[in-house]
Amino acid sequence: MPIYSFQSSGGDVVDELVPLGTTKIKVNGKTYTKKEVPDGFALTGIASGMPSQAEQVKSGYHKLEQTLGSKFLDRSDFSAKQIKKAWGF
């Protein structure tokens, strides 16, 4: 169920979790109508973005090395030095 903002004729606003398609609700005897334009909101906390491509590649290589062990470089056509140079490590 989505959360929507509803406004009364007096200008009071409430946010309620309602079934999809609900256009009017009653709260404490007051009738509220769903707002046409949703209100903005923000979440607080620690935000983290996606790691850089280089960090993702490092992580991928690390996982492969942990999974394959010493066989990791045997499967690659490139040496460890070439891989590090290509990705700027």
Structure confidence at residue 65 (pLDDT):
78
Query: Is residue 72 pLDDT above 70, yes or no?
Result: no
Query: Mind listing the pLDDT tens digit for each residue in 43-62?
Result: 777 767 778 888 888 888 78
pTM of the model: 0.45
Span 63-84, average pLDDT: 76
Query: Is residue 74 pLDDT above 80, yes or no?
Result: no
Structure confidence at residue 47 (pLDDT):
66
Ramachandran bin of 48, using left for φ above 0, alpha for ψ from -120 to 50, beta for the remaining angles: beta
Q: How far apart are the first and last CA of the chain?
A: 47
